[in-house]
Amino acid sequence: MLVIIRGNACSGKSTVADRLRNHFKNQSKTAVIHTTMFYWEIVHGDSPKIVMENTKRILDNYLRNKYDVILEGSTLSNKDKKGKIYLERFLRIAKKYKTPVKQFFFEADFEILKHREKKRKQISIKKLKEFYNNSNKTRKKEEIVINTSNKSINQVVNQIKKILDS
């Protein structure tokens, strides 16, 4: 299975992805791919194109080797030169391996995201607003929208587990 978590920066995507790994632990091998790892940690501020290319190669490798994969990141909302969001590339890889996909979009009230970012101290509030506006414009009808504004991480994880188990 491929679980994709996109949405607003500071909405809990990374934390939920890490906790979801335990959901699959006894069933199969599970990989968690944080796209922001490439963007912020390997080469700080690397180009989205390179980030997505690296992510694509890693996803392909894990799905080919029959792993469950949790793919998350706000960078999945970025668009290529043709105006298509990068998410489409990952869906094609899943289709190639006949992998079932569940897509989630995390949203939250901007004031709550601002509060979370002030604690996290990773990006400016101006950049947060830019990410917020861009990601909201890319929401897909196939995505299950989860508002994380007033939910604990455990509540969000449990909500996703119920969806995955149904």
Which CATH number characterizes residue 77's domain? Answer: 3.40.50.300
Q: What is the pLDDT of residue 45?
A: 63
pLDDT of residue 71: 97
Per the prediction, the chain carries an average pLDDT of 90
pLDDT band for 78, please (50, 70, 90 cuts).
confident
Amino acid in the structure at residue 75: T
Q: What is the pLDDT of residues 84-113, one digit of tens each?
A: 888 999 999 999 999 999 999 999 999 999
Statement: residue 42 has pLDDT above 80: no
Question: So what's the pLDDT on residue 84?
Answer: 86
How far is C-alpha 25 from the chain's CA centre? 19
Number of domains within the chain: 1
As a whole-number percent, the residues of the chain with pLDDT over 90 amount to 64
26 pLDDT above the threshold of 70: no
Between these two residues, 43 and 37, which has the higher pLDDT value?
Answer: 37
Sign (positive/negative) of CA torsion 109, 71, 164, 101? positive
User: What's the number of CA atoms in the CB half-sphere (13 Å) around residue 32?
Assistant: 18
Pairing of strands 30-34, 101-107: unpaired
Dihedral, CA atoms, 112, 116, 117, 122, nearest 10 degrees? -150
Percent of the chain scoring above 70 in pLDDT: 94
Range of the domain at 103: 2-165
- CA–CA gap between residue 80 and residue 10 (Å, rounded): 23
